Amino acid sequence: MKLLDPTEIKGLHLLNRFIRSATWEGLADGDGACTPELVDLMVKLVKGGVGLIITGHTYVSSAGQATPWQLGLYKDSLIEGLKEMTEAVHYEGGKIILQLAHGGLMARSKLTGTAPQGPSPEKGQDNDPGRGMTVDEIEETIAAFGQAARRAKAAGFDGVQIHSAHGYLLNQFLSPAFNLREDKYGGSVENRARALLEVYHSIRRTVGRYYPILVKINSEDFVERGLILSDVIRIAALLDSAGVDAIEVSGGTFVSEQNHL
């Protein structure tokens, strides 16, 4: 096995094993729509020889926006602009996966117009006072991931990645540092992984059995009482059993020490 050897993920053929990991580009418009600058960036990445592009985090509901000029896919009207991106990448012979995310406590109220929400009440970015989500809100967010995946497939993306790292909402559910719930979404590793697994199943029902679904997860949170490697190994086994096609491992959150990010 060599880096320049071809490979595949769930039948998605890649020319090599170089993958551009998701990075916030800050090039969408104020509504989260794709722009010519974003398309140009993706084309440059393909021409540079990368085997697979994973886009920057894309918010699945208006309450989940974490950064300005962040890509969004929370409504159908955003599909057409993203078709230009996928068509340009495919024309150059590349493959591209859309990363789906919800900021949770990292969502900014000045962008969303609403208080950040997470598994438990905690302060978010900019010291925004966050609140704990109700079960109904959790279920609505899970459904929003599924609908965003439907839109991604309609826009021509070759797959989706669920962002469950870096202190965003699904990482918050996994992490005992952020998740203090006492219901079915908190406590044990299995309960803390429930929201992530339900997001996966929501997406799978929407896109079908042959569409690649990836997950990005922390190796550790690098915060006191945070997610640790032994828990992550158990969560990865749950994801594998559920049918997730690939797992990307990262680390750190928005409150981790800088040298761990």
Q: Which residues are catalytic?
A: 168
Q: What is the DSSP string of the chain?
A: --TTS-EEETTEEESSS-EE-------S-TTS---HHHHHHHHHHHHTT-SEEEPSPEESSGGG--STT--B-SSGGGHHHHHHHHHHHHHTT--EEEEEE--GGGS-HHHHSS--EESS--B-GGGPBPEEPPHHHHHHHHHHHHHHHHHHHHTT-S-EEEEE-TTSHHHHHH-TTT----STTSSSHHHHTHHHHHHHHHHHHHH-TTS-EEEEEES---STT---HHHHHHHHHHHHHHT--EEEEE---TTS-GGG-
Q: Are 178 and 186 in contact (CB under 8 A)?
A: no
- Region of residue 247 (phi > 0: left; psi between -120 and 50: alpha; otherwise: beta): beta
Amino acid at 5: D
> How many Cβ atoms sit within 10 Å of the Cβ of residue 205?
12
Cα distance between residue 99 and residue 59, in whole Å: 9
